[in-house]
Amino acid sequence: MRNRPPREPKPYALVDIPQQAPRRTQAVTHQRFSGLTGQLKLAITVVSEYLFVGSGAFRFNPRRTRDQPDVWYTFCRTRGRMCIPGTSLKGAIRSIVEVISNSCVSQRKSGETIPEPHRPCRFRDPNAHTLCPACRLFGATGLRGRVWFSDAVAEPRIKTEVVKIGELWRPHYQATAGKRRFYQVKATPRSDKRPQRNFRFVEVVCRGGRFLGRCGFENVCRAELGLILSALGLSDSRDGQLQTAFTPKLGGGKPRCLGAARIEVVEARILDPAGGGILGYVELRGDELRQFLSNCLRACREEGMLHRPSWDQLVAGLQPRTGSCPKEVY
């Protein structure tokens, strides 16, 4: 009997779906302004070796040599500049909000088992239906969300490369029933540029690449904004200083350990109704901004919007790991 090589460790962390049902309350509608409305300016920096956000298009090299790829998947672009689409950002951040707030599991994969209390919320009548924290913020079928993300556009002269990664296969969910899966931050092994079966080539942004985008919010309370900030990977210390608790994963190739990014808030614009209606904004930077964000994070904890056991599991699971990501099937 031929000996099989040992399987490499799986590059993901698991977060338990709590036995406690989500805390569902009535949705907030959009008839009038209440609470906080405004925008956060975000700086997104690639901290893994590569980031890949596919455009669905290919690029061909008809003059390739034996050691060069002839076709590869291209990075997403808007008006000729690389970008992370706002829909991609929203999906990634919503998945984290669902975990750290003990919300419903909105996206169910075929073959995946979800506990009954965490089935997706349903909404038809704002007076008769209640929603989990994530659905109240990001919306549900029939209800527009109160959080949105713009496309995050790359800064000029960003460094790119074409790299080879192993093909991505559909995961088995039976072994992770009752848990949520998040891919870890590990090194991506370098490989040659020769075409090879069960491998593909992708255009990536290298470590240190920076993107700028915005997160808009409408009619949220401080605790809800603090929940969004927590999902961006932010936390505050006892002296009110902001720090990065973990780096969210964005884009494609996560099973190959691509996509870890540090997200920072560099500016906030908050609607001030007393300042002349929708055009009256207060801009926060520097110490004022840090104090405002710290107050929101503290309100999120104190008002019970942050499910602490899930938060602790996620933060521990997304800390950088030693060793390399698996190159092939694991």
Residue ranges of the chain with pLDDT lower than 50?
A: 1
Side chain identity, residue 257: C
| Distance separating alpha carbons of residues 270 and 265, to the nearest angstrom | 13
At 89, which helix (H) or strand (E)? helix 86-100
State phi, psi for 327 to the nearest 5 degrees: -85, -30
List the one residue out of 211, 210, 249 whose CA is nearest residue 232: 249
pLDDT score of 278: 53
What 3-state DSSP class applies to 205? Answer: strand
List the one residue out of 210, 217, 212 whose CA is nearest residue 231: 217
Model pTM? Answer: 0.91
* Sequence spans of domains, the chain: 12-315
| Distance separating alpha carbons of residues 140 and 122, to the nearest angstrom | 7
pLDDT, one tens digit per residue, over 57-102 is 888 887 776 667 888 999 999 988 999 999 999 999 999 999 999 9
- Residue position matching structure tokens 């925008």: 39
Residue 151 contacts by C-beta under 8 Å, 6 or more apart in sequence? Answer: 78, 83, 84, 85, 86, 213
What 3-state DSSP class applies to 274? Answer: helix
pLDDT score of 76: 95
- What region, left, alpha or beta, does residue 102 occupy, with left being phi > 0 and alpha being psi -120 to 50 degrees? left
pLDDT score of 1: 44
- Contact between residue 90 and residue 147 where contact means Cβ atoms under 8 Å apart: yes
For residue 44, give Cα distances in angstroms to 5, 41, 174, 215, 247: 39, 10, 34, 12, 10
pLDDT score of 174: 58
